[in-house]
Structure 1
Amino acid sequence: MPGVKFTRSGSSSGRSGSMSGRSGSNSLFAEAGSKRVNLDGRPILDFDHKNRSNSSVAIIEGDELEYSRTLKNRATSNSREPFEETASVIDDEDEITGKLAPYGGFSRKDLGDVVLGNENIFQSAPWKIVRSERGNGSLFNAVGLAVEKGVVDDCKWIGAMSLPSDLIPQNVLDDIAHHLSEDYNCESVSIDDMTFQGHYKSFCKQILWPTLHYQIPDDPKSKAFEEHSYHYYKQANQLVADKIVETYMNEKNHLDPNHPDNVIWIHDYHLLLVPAMIREKCPDAKIGFFLHVSFPSSEVFRCLAQRKPLLEGLLGADCIGFQNEEYVRHFLQTCNRLLLTDLNEFGLIYRGKVTRVQAIPVGIDADKLRNVLKKEEVSSWTKLIRDRWKDQLLIVSRDKPDKLRGIKQKLLAYEKYLQNDRKRLETTVLVQIFIGEAKDDDYEAEVLQIISRINSMADNLSAAQPVVILQHDIDFDQYLALQCEADLFIVSSMREGLNLTCHEFIIATSRKKAPLVLSEFTGSSHLLDCEGKGAFLINPWDVASFGKTIGRALQISNDEKRERWENCHDVVLKHDSLDWVKLCLNTVREGWQRNQDKTFACNKPFSREVFAKFVNDTKKRNLIIINIDDFGGLGINGSSEHKSSIELSRIGTNLANLLSDTNNYVFFASIMRRSELDLIFKNVPNVGLIAEFGGFIQFPDATQWISMVDKQKAVTGFNQVARIFRTKSEGLSGSKVVINDCTVRLAAQTAMSQDTRRSLDVMGECVQLVNDSFGETEGLHATIVNDSVVVQQKNTSLHAFKFLYSYYTGTMSVGEVRQKFQLRRAESQADIFEADESAHTSEARLPNVDETIDHICYAGGLNPIDENIYDFITSLEKKQLLRPGLTIAVWDGIKETRTSAKYVAMGQNELLSIIADREQ
């Protein structure tokens, strides 16, 4: 991506220095990104809003636009990190005063004329667009490679101009924006200085960044500061989102949103609100998001005052990508707890919308790096380095000088390594490269003190120092040469979302095959560990063990070096930048397609004509399952004293015609116990019953119940969950715990009406606790249904439905069905928690099926349990295993939501009346 330079003359002056964007700020705002557009106008949008660094017009965190003028004489340096301020715009009296000579005069007369002149210097100053060296180069290069290889047809970048926009005339800004659009395929967003400062310098860097890296801001004034800065964060996100929508609509015209290249791709924590903002105006757009930093545990993220809108903003995307599974798990747990979302095998479900959440590691372009390594400049530096430290083991490390990089711990570990054998002082050298300037003077002093102490250990002061520090970044060619000659490379970050330097090292050390010591808290550690046979993983806080690992890594045999390098090398090649782009875009498309299968509930009303056509248009028989839980004021709250058995029994009376039709197999499903359903429907013929969301099934006109759950496996987990829920219920007034045969519920309807916030917090804690503690070990799953936390064995309801489908379609023999679904006869009504593990369970008896089915009708609610069944029926129809059937969701008409059901009934009475009054 290009950048803009302002100069005093038409030619670029060697004296011109870089300036930050914004009054006194430098951040590269533009992460907003890229929109790819085909020649025929079909767009792919790619947004990256990560930095607005010392370039003033910055499009993307990888190749920002550079703005400079001769008022400052600080040359742009590779040592600057993307977010680091390198220069300030002179925009007030104090700053001008700071530029004056000691006795009130300018040291250069022409400079004084420019600064104090009446004319706005930006009105007539020449400017040009140049390429910047900073930003998220991995993203820019990856997208560029994808365009080059034909993975995408074209790409348009959209980002904020990192200019002091309050100082620059609007016509100049418009001119810059025009050239960026015409010549560089970049659409720019202009943000005023106050908004930018509040967004980037305040909220992003002082609130979001520390929290995402486990450093919760604890300033006494941070609460007011956070609320104030969040206003600007939201405002800046809205400006970027509006520009994205404008560009998307202009480029898209009237093209099919299903086109694979019609994608919006947003990047990083600076734009967390943008996906939902775009979704509001472009509901059918394909939107992806990738977070380039770490995502903390729910206990940390919930400390943010704006936690809910930030999460909801992200969930506007069809797919959210993270660097590794740990960040995915943290995000899912956080949404589970704070938003009461539910999960399925595809992703996260919130308000009927599915968001695919996946770990998609970022990689590098190994082929391009190999070509750079072949350059003559790299070879020359490699020879010089080899000669300089020919008799020593060379350790290389490169970090930003801040606490998160674990520099102090690395030096202490290196000191331990040297102390264990003082001969190593003459045979080992650590070259530590610092990127950018330290912002914490105390930390910098502490690090330098440790370095001085290590270097003073050497008896021979004329010999090479054990630690060599470079307090500015070096040319990339020199850096690669150091990696080529390194005997060990160390990455010791305390917390880091991405670290591709270790990937670069694996390619650079192809000749020496040197080992890598990598912090387990970096995003790449899970990949390069290679089951203990790749990089040496360390805990930076364990200094003693860290020191021992350095010693071991330097002493391993050549065979072990080769094995570890080859394992890491295979990983780097497998997870390269091109595959990263492919996988990210594919998952966005998959997530979008899954949501297209769901439509808004209000758009598909259920009618008598629809049901009559279903019943009459059949070649075989129909399987009809109706979830009755909300009939008769039942809700899901608990025991029978809150239900009207008379009203429920009338369901059978009202549906007498449906039940008497021999073409129909009809089942009523409920969360109620077997005993309650037996009592209510004992006089209703020809109806099957499904108790406890699929835990038990009774066939029509049968008296025996079949158990669909493994009660021996469930006992321990359910007992523990019941004890936890009782404890939680004691602290939540109005709630109660309902324990059934294979279900535990924390019913909180009354509590919700009394204290909604407290109830949501408790339910969120329960959901997270069950899913984290008992999900994998006990196979239990907690979900929210009608203001209650429902705990069952995972997919119990879907398991029961699949059994009925297999049985009634005749796709499997009775013996195969019994074996696959592990059917058991439910011996008694005794609570499963008190069941004797040694008790004998008889084999379930299955009735004969006179004729198979080819149609299915399922009527349920708008909850995750029923949605899983709607999705399964849809998948059967797509595979042509069933003729098109009916899925009907009962909707209260209050909360707008999406559903996979084909039709929606406005209430239970409407559903019943339509089914009962169908034309015969």
Structure 2
Amino acid sequence: MNLHNTLFKDEDEKAFNKDEKFEENIKNVEDSSLLSDSFINNKWKNEKKENHGICSPKNLPWPLKCSERVIFACTSIPYKCFFNPQNGEWKFRPRRGGSSLFASISWLSQETGWETKLVGWTGEITVDRQEILSSSNDMDTLNNTNTVLLTSEDKERFLESFSKTYKDQIVPIWMLSDSNHKFGETIEQQSRWRKYPNTVLLPLFHYRLWNNTTDEWNEQTCWKDYVEFNKAYLDAIVKIYKPADIIIIHDYYLLLLPQLIRQKLPNAYLGFFLHEPFPSSEIFRCLPKRKEILMGMLGANMIGFQSYSFSRHFVSTCTRVLGFDSIGKGIDVNGAYVAIEVLPMGIDAQRVEKESQTPKIQKKMQFIRELYSNKKILIGRAKIYEIQGVLQGLKAFESFLKQFSKWRNQVVFIQVTSPVNDDTSKFEKQIQDLIAEINGTYGSLEFTPVHHYHQHLEKDEYFALLRSGDVGIITAIRDSINTTSLEYVICQKGNNGPLLLSEFSGTKDALQDAIQVNPWDVTDTAKKINEALCISESEKEARQLKLYNYVIMNTVQTWISSFISKLLTNLATFNYNQITPIIDTTLLTNAYHKANKRLFMFDYDGTLTPIVKDPLFAIPSQQLLQVLRALAENPKNQVWIISGRDQNFLSKWLDIIPQLGLSAEHGCYMRFPNTSNWLDLTKNMDVSWQEEVYKIFEYYTERTQGSFIEQKKCTLTWHYRRADPDYGLFQALECQNHLESLITSNYKVEVLNGKANIEVRPFSINKGEVVNKLLSLFKDEKPDFVFSAGDDKTDEDMFRVLKKREDLKTYFTVTIGASNKITTADWHIQGPSEVLSLLESLISIKSSNDSTR
């Protein structure tokens, strides 16, 4: 059925709407809202209230560098691109969908002081059939519109035409394959960029596993295309990026992009917002590329979600799949803090209200009312996806007619389904069969209970339909933001039609005064339909007023303002403008080359070898042993491994390099180069505390499956890396409180939080003391080159000691991990493999310089 032809035969059609078109900071993270308020002066607060909460880029309250520009990375540009092969001209017509997002960007650009740039894929480029039909009867061209054949000149004309129209505010990404200066692909070939996000990620996010019968080659090809798609955005953004730009990345097509940008632009201010639900960790862990996807997202400084449940699932997944700790309202990613925020998206409420109240739409609404006079009208609108719950809504209506016979012939259900790019023919048939069954059972020649329209509605028809409804029905079985529900609320101003909203919708937390239903419970949903029809006028008005006030106060303009404000707050709170630079290899190698006495001090786990789940498996690779041997054999070098490991482990794996110096248990024991005896630095210390600590650790081990105790001579460690991450962290906090209340008040020990472990050690023992001891051995002639590297909190003691020494000419303190990691180190290196590569380059300097000196 065609809704326009059925309801508005005498109305002219119009084009669809263009507008659819660590330490201290981490401790305070849970109070970041209070902390941010202390930064914000009253003048800025007033400005925020007057301007949807957004601050002017010229009046930022923090000492944060800002370019006054925001770059938005979106799945596509707001326009579809059409090519006319007859004259080589390009046309750009508004794209359906994403109207709220594009409206927020447009508002930010036009109504605030921020300059915006939107980076997006062109989408599938198609032949302009509409233009060809209007100008000629070239049937050959019309019959071959499935393939677009373009030259390099056509691409240049495209870029020129687009730039003239949109003045560089929109940066289109061209994804057509280039072969001999020609671009030729079918629509299906151009759509390959959609395969991985739409056939793997989108179902997964909605608790549906993808088709696992797909052969491995095809799945790998789809993943390769997904990576290439994200890299194309990286290249486009790098070209236009200026220092201190804000970059905001949107949705599941671009999950790898934050990390790609972070690697290329380590100082970038990055925000990411997921417009889809995020599933539980049990569902997400089925994804073969789960780690790559999560690490891609965690390249951002802040990640936003539509609802609290989605953010909770994401944090839980990161702890379970990646082993990262959750801290406050964020995640500790190898020492870098990634903020997690709940930011419900709205709609352009003022525009919807204004456009839905026009005389033309009023006339169409009256026409619908007259067409169904003396009938109650139920309205449903959704995309033709299973997750949108169309079948569940129809079954609930069928049950309603069965249970409440008084409403038969008195209620009609108008269900609109919007077509999508995917093949949904089987699902469409299920819907048609169910509608036929309902109409056959409860309908007659004079009355049809269900009216189904499978088409895109024009804006005025859509608003007229929403205004006509007596009850709105949203029965999605899983979705994030549901704009139809928000638009229904605005359009019902004055009519007060109740809204039935699925409890599985991401909007349900916001619309608390809607009648919430479980779409899987068909019988109860039917009862709720009856309840909505019988509700008193006073209650309808009270519910509608609360819903309307929420939607009108929480618009898409408020959303984008809150997003930028939260991002800036987190950037300022965690000092993201003070990024630890990647080590300057030229400076390092020059200093190494000139030095005659060199001291190297390395942590072991996470610095020279990757972190593993079981500490026993962190054995040194052959590459590492070769690098350490070559470095230590140089007579100008002293090389020390300063580790939390015990003597047995270090001796077992590193004794084969006698020139190495070893320090075990964070400095409790030392073994000097070319010796076999360990020096005990704790023999005069009181270790009577160990018995009590062991009992406490035993208590928690018995109650935490997968945890275990590591007893060294001087320290005790409780590991929970193999335990359930959430429960393990909970037990660790309990254990730490237990230790601090019973042990630290009675003994000279300290409790250290490591990576999925708790360690108790003598208070006076730490890696910083080892550094002081090693430097004292040089006496008056200190080393003229010192290199210290580590990834853990315990390694910060080494860095602090070196920074305080005034007798050192040249030293390098290097943390292993992200550039935005909270550290006192001067430099950073990404990971153990990069550490080995750097040392290999120094070894090559040794062979070319030291041997000839």
Q: TM exceeds 0.5?
A: yes
Partner amino acid, structure 1, of 2:684 = N
Contact 2:336 2:820 in 1 (8 A): yes
For structure 2, the residue ranges without an aligned partner over 5 or more in a row are 1-11, 22-55, 59-65, 127-146, 177-184, 589-602, 608-638, 653-661, 671-679, 750-787, 801-810, 833-853
Give the match's secondary structure for 2:299: coil
Contact 1:435 1:473 in 2 (8 A): yes
Contact 2:280 2:317 in 1 (8 A): yes
Change (3 A) 1:161 1:218: closer
Aligned to 2:535: 556
Partner amino acid, structure 2, of 1:173 = K
Given candidates 542, 553, 556, the residue that maps to 1:574 is 553
CA distance in 2, matches of 1:133, 1:898: 38
Aligned to 2:684: 683
Aligned to 1:720: 703
Given candidates 218, 221, 239, the residue that maps to 2:214 is 221
- 1:167 paired to 2:149: yes
1:673-730, CA deviations, whole angstroms, 9 ceiling, x for partnerless residues?
Answer: xxxxxx964636xxxx9x9xxxxxxxxxxx999x999x99x99866421x4436xxxx
Aligned to 1:854: none
- 1:599 paired to 2:580: yes
CA distance in 2, matches of 1:222, 1:67: 34
Partner amino acid, structure 1, of 2:542 = E
CA distance in 1, matches of 2:258, 2:125: 25
Could you tell me how far 1:550 is from its partner in structure 2?
1.8
Partner amino acid, structure 2, of 1:236 = F
Given candidates 415, 423, 426, the residue that maps to 1:442 is 426
Aligned to 2:326: 343
Change (3 A) 1:718 1:511: farther
Aligned to 1:48: 74
Aligned to 2:195: 202
Could you tell me how far 1:367 is from its partner in structure 2?
1.4
Could you tell me how far 1:449 is from its partner in structure 2?
1.8
Contact 1:633 1:643 in 2 (8 A): no
Give the match's secondary structure for 1:409: helix
Give the total of aligned pairs.
640
Aligned to 1:135: 97
Contact 1:294 1:327 in 2 (8 A): yes
Change (3 A) 1:473 1:221: closer
> Superposed, which structure 2 residues align to 1:291-330 within 5 Å?
291-330=274-313
> Superposed, which structure 2 residues align to 1:277-292 within 5 Å?
277-292=260-275
Change (3 A) 1:682 1:570: farther
Aligned to 2:807: none
CA distance in 2, matches of 1:652, 1:741: 9
Aligned to 1:918: none
Aligned to 2:451: 468
Change (3 A) 1:293 1:704: closer
Change (3 A) 1:431 1:743: farther
Partner amino acid, structure 2, of 1:458 = Y
> Superposed, which structure 2 residues align to 1:411-810 within 5 Å?
411-436=394-419, 439-458=423-442, 461-528=444-511, 530=512, 534-593=513-572, 594=574, 595-600=576-581, 602=583, 635-636=643-644, 681=682, 683=684, 719-721=702-704, 723-725=705-707, 744-746=718-720, 763=721, 766=722, 769-771=724-726, 773=727, 779-780=730-731, 791-793=732-734
Aligned to 1:146: 108
CA distance in 2, matches of 1:230, 1:406: 29
Contact 2:472 2:500 in 1 (8 A): yes
> Superposed, which structure 2 residues align to 1:189-268 within 5 Å?
189-192=173-176, 193=185, 197=190, 199-248=192-241, 252=242, 257-258=243-244, 262-268=245-251
CA distance in 1, matches of 2:399, 2:825: 69
- 1:179 paired to 2:158: no
Give the match's secondary structure for 1:423: helix
Q: Which deviates more from structure 2 when the two are superposed, residues 330-339 or residues 411-420?
A: 330-339
Change (3 A) 1:420 1:553: same
CA distance in 2, matches of 1:451, 1:291: 34
Contact 1:454 1:466 in 2 (8 A): yes
The TM-score with structure 1 as length reference comes to 0.60
Aligned to 2:779: none
Aligned to 1:332: 315
CA distance in 2, matches of 1:414, 1:558: 23
CA distance in 2, matches of 1:554, 1:321: 37
Could you tell me how far 1:574 is from its partner in structure 2?
3.4
Change (3 A) 1:370 1:198: closer
Partner amino acid, structure 1, of 2:274 = L
CA distance in 1, matches of 2:544, 2:797: 47
Change (3 A) 1:419 1:303: same
CA distance in 1, matches of 2:228, 2:793: 38
Partner amino acid, structure 2, of 1:596 = N
> Superposed, which structure 2 residues align to 1:31-110 within 5 Å?
43-50=69-76, 60=77, 63-67=78-82, 69=84
Give the match's secondary structure for 1:596: coil
Could you tell me how far 1:512 is from its partner in structure 2?
2.1
> Superposed, which structure 2 residues align to 1:364-379 within 5 Å?
364-379=347-362
Contact 2:307 2:343 in 1 (8 A): yes
1:746-784, CA deviations, whole angstroms, 9 ceiling, x for partnerless residues?
Answer: 4xxxxxxxxxxxxxxxx4xx46x241x476xxx44xxxx
Give the match's secondary structure for 1:237: helix
Change (3 A) 1:41 1:683: closer
Give the match's secondary structure for 2:223: helix
CA distance in 2, matches of 1:366, 1:794: 50
Contact 1:354 1:591 in 2 (8 A): no
Change (3 A) 1:463 1:902: same
Give the match's secondary structure for 2:392: helix
Partner amino acid, structure 1, of 2:344 = P
Could you tell me how far 1:628 is from its partner in structure 2?
13
Could you tell me how far 1:504 is from its partner in structure 2?
0.7
Partner amino acid, structure 1, of 2:439 = N
Could you tell me how far 1:335 is from its partner in structure 2?
2.1
Given candidates 362, 366, 371, the residue that maps to 2:345 is 362
Contact 1:323 1:497 in 2 (8 A): yes
Change (3 A) 1:129 1:869: farther
Q: Which deviates more from structure 2 when the two are superposed, residues 134-143 or residues 595-604?
A: 595-604
CA distance in 2, matches of 1:861, 1:793: 32
Q: Which has the higher contact order (CA 8 A, sep 6+)?
A: 2
Could you tell me how far 1:742 is from its partner in structure 2?
10
Change (3 A) 1:335 1:380: same
Give the match's secondary structure for 1:355: strand
Give the match's secondary structure for 2:485: helix
Could you tell me how far 1:501 is from its partner in structure 2?
0.9
Change (3 A) 1:408 1:869: farther
Contact 1:601 1:891 in 2 (8 A): no
Change (3 A) 1:890 1:406: farther
Partner amino acid, structure 2, of 1:683 = N
Change (3 A) 1:903 1:542: same
CA distance in 2, matches of 1:489, 1:567: 16
Contact 1:862 1:890 in 2 (8 A): no
1:374-404, CA deviations, whole angstroms, 9 ceiling, x for partnerless residues?
Answer: 2111111121222223322211000122211
Give the match's secondary structure for 1:46: strand
Cα root mean square deviation, aligned:
5.1
Contact 1:263 1:285 in 2 (8 A): yes
